[in-house]
Amino acid sequence: MIDILILSNGPGEVTTWVRPVVKALREQLGNDISQVRISVILSPCPHASGKEASIASSYPEVDRVQAPERFWQFLLTGKTAENWEWRKKGVVVFLGGDQIFPVIIGKKLGYKTVVYAEWEARWHNFIDNFGVMKAQVIKNVSPKYSHKFTVVGDLMLEAAGEQGSRGAGEQGSRGEELIGMLPGSKAAKLTQGVPLTLAIAEYIHTKRPEIKFFIPVAPTLDLATLADFANPENNKFTKVFGCQGASLIDNVLKTSTGLTVELRQENPAYHLLSQCALCLTTVGANTAELGALGVPMIVLLPTQQLDAMRSWDGLPGLLANLPGVGSSFAKLINWWAFKNKGLLAWPNIWAQAEIVPELVGKLQPQAVGEMVLDLLENPEKLAVMKDKLRSARGEGGAAQKLANLVQKEIETL
């Protein structure tokens, strides 16, 4: 009888890491809960929406979930809010948070530890096994710990890659051009992202009315809240971007110009995204998912509202959110960050080159719209972008390889 404890934190990790790994674990180890029980414990995350626990609970492979509010108590005492009992043998699997957490919790429970390390691996002497995204993560590891490391590839490719290969043919067979709009999932990004992408879509619609648009709505966001950011009465930035606003009718945003943008709530929306000729997206985990799907994108980071982008980690985030003076700190931090920015989109970071355009500044919808139209009218440019996105991706099969590492540790118990 084995317990597998998954440690994770934010919305991106729960949806793109935990989901494929628990599925692979069940396929590898079976569905008998009396033999293998899978628990998920979440740690606090500055980007969390508050719905991560319910999302993890919805996975049929997961047997129990603890929300992040009681994490510190568990870390310090080893006791969960519901006083879960733990089997004598088990494995802690790290899929997001701080890598010190599996070290502490593994010691408390007497469990083996497996860490998925995307960019950096720590605590080499205390962790039993590392599955890393790319070989570069291992290059500075002491030879005495090298036996603990296995290159497993990129977890984000799991569901995305499968849907991508299926969806690419669907777009061609239907013969219609589809553009996905990913303005973000939190107020800091949606305030500018929704009116900007709507204004771009309105401009494209005047030139190419046959093009279809949709927004894959984040599971942490309801339609009415999203629609508020398209309402001029609630969001002054509709006027800044020249957007006339939009009304929510059923599952569609409609503008006075006749543009309709479908709101889709499937999660993950890989089968829809993989049909897109192009996506307009903000920065974040969504760029990694689009990259994994091989979907061309334009990454938008408007600076019309410098003080709104307050979602920084650590000390900058604390300063930016201070009462009274936070707005000034936020403007200063964002000005410095934009001035000194490196590559922002994950595919570009992976490739250390700008595969997909990153537009930063006081973006104008017409200029972005013209860039979109140019790409659509020159499909060879999109084809080059697709090829480069595919070459920048890591190996596939990461979830199964991680499940193999977990089984390897189980066999030593």
User: Among 347, 248, 238, 331, which residue's Cα sits nearest to residue 293?
Assistant: 347
Report the predicted TM-score, pTM, of the whole model to 2 decimal places. 0.68
Residues 125 and 205 in one domain: no
153-189 in b/e form (b: 16+ CB < 10 A) is bbbbbbbbbbbbeebeeeeeeeeebbbbbbbbbbebb
Residues 319 and 386 in one domain: yes
Q: Give the angle 364-264-193 at the CA atoms, nearest 5°.
A: 20
Q: How many domains does the chain have?
A: 2
Residues 399 and 361 in one domain: no
Rounded to an integer, what distance in angstroms lies between the CA atom of residue 67 and that of residue 40?
9
- Residue 186 has what pLDDT? 82
Contact 178, 286 (CB under 8 A): no
- Residue 249 has what pLDDT? 95
Going 350 to 356 to 360 to 365, the CA torsion angle's sign is: negative
Domain range for 245 is: 159-392
Residues 124 and 65 in one domain: yes
Residues 108 and 218 in one domain: no
Radius of gyration over every alpha carbon of the chain, rounded to an integer in angstroms: 22
Rounded to an integer, what distance in angstroms lies between the CA atom of residue 111 and that of residue 242?
57
- Residue 329 has what pLDDT? 61
Residues 404 and 278 in one domain: no
Residues 9 and 66 in one domain: yes
Contact 281, 290 (CB under 8 A): yes
User: With DSSP H G I counted as helix, E B as strand and the rest as coil, what are the percentages for the chain, rounded to 5?
Assistant: 45, 20, 35
Amino acid at 71: F
Residues 136 and 225 in one domain: no
Residues 201 and 334 in one domain: yes
Could you list the pLDDT tens digit for every one of the 413 residues in the chain?
A: 999 999 999 877 888 899 999 999 999 999 999 999 999 999 998 777 788 899 999 999 999 999 999 999 999 998 999 999 999 999 999 999 999 999 999 999 999 999 999 888 999 999 999 999 888 889 888 999 999 999 998 887 765 655 444 444 444 334 579 999 999 888 878 999 999 999 999 999 999 999 999 999 987 789 999 999 999 999 988 999 999 899 999 999 999 989 999 999 987 788 889 999 999 999 887 898 899 889 999 999 887 655 444 444 445 455 555 566 556 665 665 555 555 556 888 889 878 899 999 998 889 999 999 999 999 999 999 999 999 998 877 667 899 999 999 999 999 98
Residues 39 and 142 in one domain: yes
For helices 365-377 and 379-392, the axis angle rounded to 10 degrees is 90
Contact 70, 44 (CB under 8 A): no
Q: What Cα–Cα distance (Å) separates residue 186 from each residue in 79, 302, 336?
A: 32, 15, 22
User: Among 100, 115, 109, which residue's Cα sits nearest to residue 145?
Assistant: 115
Contact 257, 202 (CB under 8 A): yes
- Residue 187 has what pLDDT? 83
Residues 228 and 142 in one domain: no
Residues 264 and 342 in one domain: yes
For residue 38, give the CATH number of its domain.
3.40.50.2000
Contact 190, 227 (CB under 8 A): no
